[in-house]
Amino acid sequence: MSDATNTMDRILEDLTDRFRAGSATRQRDDLAFVTVPQNDAVAAVTHLKEFWEFRHLVYFTAVDIIERGLFRLCYMLHSYTHNLDVCLQTEIMRDGATMQSIHHLWAAAAVYQRELKEMFGIDFPGCPRVDESFALEGWTEMPPMRRDFDTRAYSEATYYPREGREKHDRKEIMKKALYPEVDL
C-alpha cells in the first residue's frame, strides 16, 4: 500500500476515534469524504488543520438536501505536506440554519460564510461582515440557492420574458426516445 493510502487510513481512523465520524467514502487514493456530527465539526476541522497539517481550505460550501430537511456543509481541506484532500461534511437542520464560524482558522472563510448566508440563509454568528451582501444588491426574496426557490417563476415574474421560447427537457426527450410505447 502506498504512503498516501497509509496516511489516509490513519487520518480517518483518528477522526473516527476522536470525533464520532461516520464511515468515509474513498473516492481516490488521496481524496476522502467523511461525515461528522454538527457539534464536532469545527473541532474536527481544527484538529485536521493543526495536527494533520491540512492548512489549505480549498472551499467551504453547502448542499441543499430538501428531502431530508438538511443542509450538508462541506469543508474541503488540502494538505501540502501529505498531498491529500479530505472533505469534512456535516449536516445541519434546514430551518433556522446556524453553524459555528471558522473565521478564526482562516480569514478567507469569512467570505465563504457571507456567501452561504446570502445564498442559502445559513447564519454564522460572530463572523465579521456576515450580514453584508455578497453578490446580490437589494435582494429581498428567499435565499436563491435553496431548492424550493423557483428561479424560473421568479424570472418570468420580474423580468419580461420574450415569447417564442420553449424549454427542451432532456429527461422528456430521452424518455420518448428510449420508451416510445410508454405513454407518460
| Residues at the interface with other proteins (CB under 8 A) | 117, 131-133, 135-142, 144, 149, 151-152, 154-156, 158-162, 164-165
| CB nearer other proteins, residue 3 or residue 131 | 131
CB 135 within 8 A of CB 118: yes
| CB nearer other proteins, residue 3 or residue 150 | 150
Instruction: Kindly state the smallest distance separating residue 25's Cβ from other proteins, in Å.
Output: 32
143: its cell numbers: 435565499
| CB nearer other proteins, residue 156 or residue 172 | 156
| CB nearer other proteins, residue 80 or residue 139 | 139
| CB nearer other proteins, residue 67 or residue 132 | 132
CB 108 within 8 A of CB 78: no
Cα of 88 vs its chain's centroid, Å: 10
What CA–CA distance (Å, rounded) separates 148 from 72?
A: 16
Instruction: Kindly state the smallest distance separating residue 119's Cβ from other proteins, in Å.
Output: 11
Instruction: Kindly state the smallest distance separating residue 120's Cβ from other proteins, in Å.
Output: 13
CA-atom Rg of the chain in angstroms: 21
Taking 3-state DSSP, the helix, strand and coil percentages for the chain, each rounded to the nearest 5, stand at 30, 20, 45
Sheet holding 84-93, edge to edge: 25-28, 31-35, 84-93, 70-79, 56-65
